[in-house]
Chain A
Amino acid sequence: MIDMFIPPEYEVVRNTELCIGCRVCERQCANEVHKYDKDLGKMIADSTKCVNCHRCVALCPTHALKIVKSDDTYKLNYNWPQRAMNEIYRQAATGGVLLSSMGNPTENPIYFNKILVNASQVTNPPIDPLREPMETTVYLGKKDVEIKRDARGRLKDTLPPQLKLTTPIMFSAMSYGSISYNAHESLARAAEELGIYYNTGEGGLHTDFYKYGKNTIVQVASGRFGVHEQYLMTAAAIEIKMGQGAKPGIGGHLPGMKISDDVSKTRMIPKGVDAISPAPHHDIYSIEDLRQLIYSLKEATAYTKPVIVKVAAVHNVAAIASGIARSGADIIAIDGYRGGTGAAPTRIRDNVGIPIELALAQVDERLRQEGIRDSVSIVVGGSIHSSSDVVKAIALGADACYIATAAVMALGCHLCRSCHAGKCNWGIATQRPDLVKRLNPDIGKQRLVNLVHAWTHEIQEMMGGMGINSIEALRGNRLMLRGVGLNETELRILGIKHAGE
């Protein structure tokens, strides 16, 4: 029996006036959409296979291709939009859980877009970052230590280990396995050149990249993939992943076909078998248990590296963060519900978790109220779109931001949201050697460096406009923010006034 046909959401349109039949589209499409048809003597396209990654559009030398939203439609129904109907059809055909990739694309509010930034006029002058110093360096770690002196009255260095960032941006966790070797190399080299950090994700660290250890944050997640002494010692910091914004409450799932030889060696798991991270850490059922893991890792690395605890933004995030701050963590990373993923159940991705802006404001507020804000740094991620989002996040109380979706976009990602298929035409979310080589790390590194440089310039411009000359002075400075189109509750949670107030 044949499955019921579901019309494609997007259609490939070829301008035959412009197509010269070079077949670049055909050679570059891992989904086999394009084909030179001998019978017709021309190029044809099968839109049903198209994932809309735009690889062919970007590479077509005569710009003969475009991809359009299909105008095929079921009978219009506000209550049953086409997407919801198609999902029913898919599940009726397969009986399976719907899978998606990248961040939550639904139409919920994006609070960053409803927050406006202040600027100086007349009374306190703006600062020109091209003429005057503008400090973007940030140190992440515990800062609440007691000042101690030795017998001769000299200051003892009691400061716990810190991470020094030249700009308040880091590349957040993406595992080797979910993304390619060349993507990891691009991130590692860019982090080194920028003086920031990238994060291995839960897939271990390829031995080729140990040399970038000074700019590497290694992750210890519930699957414990690739965790061993050298892995921990190589890194600048260790991150315990308790949750991920795209899929709070569940573990990870890397399909077996992405477990290549190298991935299997790096993760220390069999080749070709699905890698499943459990939903919980099986040794963590309380803040006390978390504290044990934090101190095990600190003990294993002789207290030389900060430990980050990453959680998804969920309803009780402020209380959870308070617990984490008291458990000995140096840094708390919070991942909002728009955060990306290489694969997540659609229903979880689109319905679980809360917006990062609200979570961040509440965590910062709670830690201040409890007088423990200085005992941890806060890093936030989950769809930081631009430098202005970074500025707003810092003014809401963050120390730095994690970017990953923006980073893979710099590498070529067009958010086709098909990572879980493992056939990424841009060489990012794939392990197929012929596709991986499409991402030349020389180019990838440079594009990441360009992006972060551009954002840093913009952050400096915005800070200068506010008359602020260091990130320190912007952090938690909510008077620099105003909401627009937000209700009383939203403003109260964000801790900001409405525009005009």
Chain B
Amino acid sequence: MKRIYVNEEWCLGCHLCEYECMYANSGLDAMFKLKGRTNEFIPRIKVEGDDGSQIHFAVNCRHCTNAICVKSCIAGALSKDEYGVVRINKDKCVGCYTCVLVCPFGAIMPAPDGKAAQKCALCTDNIMGEPNCVKNCPNNAIVFEERD
């Protein structure tokens, strides 16, 4: 399946992807409307590496073949769909955060409302069409492609 990959050689640590992710999943129709509301949303992609660091890379869900989060979910809220995308059903999620603890990439996090977990679904759960972090990366550091 096509997944999002990050090449740390080209990641500048500019954090644009985080804001593009917030916007993509905010339901707002213009990015500037995030003004004053950025604390209401939590990006599903996170840039690792502090500002002074030489190396940065953005991390989001790897959609693991044997996803440990799916196995560990006590409520059956996490599942892999027919394409291999790991999805979360917020209605089923009980907010136990076991998935948050077990994800080796730190790619699942509590949603802003604190009642359920949230994760990247490759922008299939919003109106962006293709992953918004990929579309707006200024240096081609984040790519969406098929790899073995």
Contact check, A62 vs B139: say whether CB atoms are below 8 A apart: no
CB distance from A72 to the nearest CB of B (A): 29
Q: Is A62 in contact with B13, judged by CB distance below 8 angstroms?
A: no
Chain B residues 55 to 114 lying within 8 A of chain A, measured CB to CB, are none
Q: A440, B32: Cβ atoms under 8 Å?
A: no
Any A CB within 8 A of the CB of B1: no
Bound form: Cα–Cα A28–B136 in Å: 15
Stretch at the interface among A13-21, A208-216, A351-359: A13-21
Interface size class of B (residues with CB under 8 A): 20 to 34
B138 on the A face (CB < 8 A): yes
B5 interface hit (Cβ, 8 Å): no
Contacts of B124 in A (CB 8 A): none
Whether B32 and A20, one on each chain, are in contact in the complex, defined by CB atoms closer than 8 angstroms, is yes
Give, as a whole number of angstroms, the nearest-CB distance from B116 to chain A: 25
- Contact with B38, one of A21, A64, A438 (Cβ below 8 angstroms): A21
In the bound complex, what is the Cα–Cα distance between A24 and B54 (angstroms)? 17
The answer on a CB contact under 8 Å between B16 and A59 is yes
CB nearest to B137 among chain A residues: A440
A344 to B34, CA, bound (A): 45
Q: Number of A interface residues, CB 8 Å?
A: 21
Measured CA separation A21–B139 after assembly (Å): 21
Summed over the interface, the residue pairs from A and B with CB atoms below 8 Å come to a total of 60
- Please tell me which one of the listed residues A17, A18, A23 contacts residue B15 in the complex, with CB atoms under 8 A apart: A23
Chain B, 28-50, contact with A by CB distance < 8 Å: what is the 0/1 string?
A: 00011011101000000000000
Write the nearest CB–CB distance from A23 to chain B, whole angstroms.
Answer: 7
Task: Judge if A224 is at the interface, Cβ distance under 8 Å.
Answer: no
A438 close to B31 (CB less than 8 A) = no
* Residue A385, interface by CB 8 Å: no
Instruction: Give the docked Cα–Cα distance between A59 and B139 (Å).
Output: 11
* Closest B residue, CB atoms, query A63: B32
Cα distance A19–B34 in the bound complex, in angstroms: 9
For A62, the chain B residues whose CB sits under 8 A away are 31-32
A24 x B16 contact (CB < 8 A): yes
A18 neighbours in B (Cβ, 8 Å): 32, 35
Q: Are B15 and A20 in contact (CB under 8 A)?
A: no
Taking A17-B35, A440-B140 as contacts, is the C-beta distance between A28 and B9 under 8 angstroms? Answer: no
State the CA gap A17–B30 with chains docked (Å): 12
Provide the A239-250 mask, 1 if CB < 8 A to any CB of B, else 0. Answer: 000000000000
Contact at A443–B140, with CB atoms within 8 Å? yes
Tell me the bound Cα distance from A260 to B54 in angstroms. 16
Q: Least Cβ distance of A406 to chain B in Å?
A: 21
- Of all chain A residues, which has the CB nearest B33? A20
Q: Are A24 and B15 in contact (CB under 8 A)?
A: yes
Verify B54–A443 contact, CB threshold 8 A: no
The winner among A21, A24, A61, A438 for most chain B CB atoms within 10 A is A61
Residue numbers of A with Cβ under 8 A of B are 17-24, 27-28, 59, 61-62, 64, 433-434, 437-438, 440, 442-443
Kindly list the 5 A-B residue pairs having the minimum CB-CB distance in the complex, ordered from nearest: A62-B32, A18-B32, A22-B19, A20-B34, A440-B10
Contacts A18-B32, A438-B12 given; 19 further ones with Cβ under 8 A? A20-B19, A20-B34, A22-B18, A23-B15, A24-B15, A24-B16, A24-B19, A27-B15, A28-B12, A59-B16, A61-B16, A61-B19, A61-B31, A433-B54, A434-B12, A437-B139, A438-B139, A440-B10, A442-B140
